Amino acid sequence: MRRLEFTRVMRGRAAHARNAAEAVMHLAQFARERHRLQQERSTLTKRLQRIDARLTEIVGSETRLAPMAQFIAPNAQTSLGMGAADAMLQY
């Protein structure tokens, strides 16, 4: 995340060049900055997609396991005792 927070400070004004060489240097720096930020955006987009996929998997697992836990809980209370069923549901 620090890469996004870092901005290179240029000497003088950012868009004012005194001669053609400085203008070319500014354009080159802008191109590098744009390229770096595009790479950062694509990396973060891929990471967000992986996080969303994992969250979807977790929701699917929860929806499959929740009815099973509700079905097992009354049986566990009678056979294992109240404390064991509570521990099973908390886990």
What pLDDT, on a 0 to 100 scale, did the predictor assign at position 67? 81
3-state secondary structure 36-79: HHHHHHHHHHHHHHHHHHHHHHHHHHHHHHHHHHHHHHHHHHHH
Measured CA to CA in angstroms, residue 29 lies from 9, 16, 24, 34 at distances of 11, 13, 9, 9
What pLDDT, on a 0 to 100 scale, did the predictor assign at position 71? 72
Whether residue 1 is predicted with pLDDT greater than 70 in this model: the reply is no
Enter the pTM of the model: 0.54
Whether residue 5 is predicted with pLDDT greater than 80 in this model: the reply is no
Rounded to an integer, the average pLDDT of 58-82 is 72
Amino acid, single-letter form, for residue 43: T
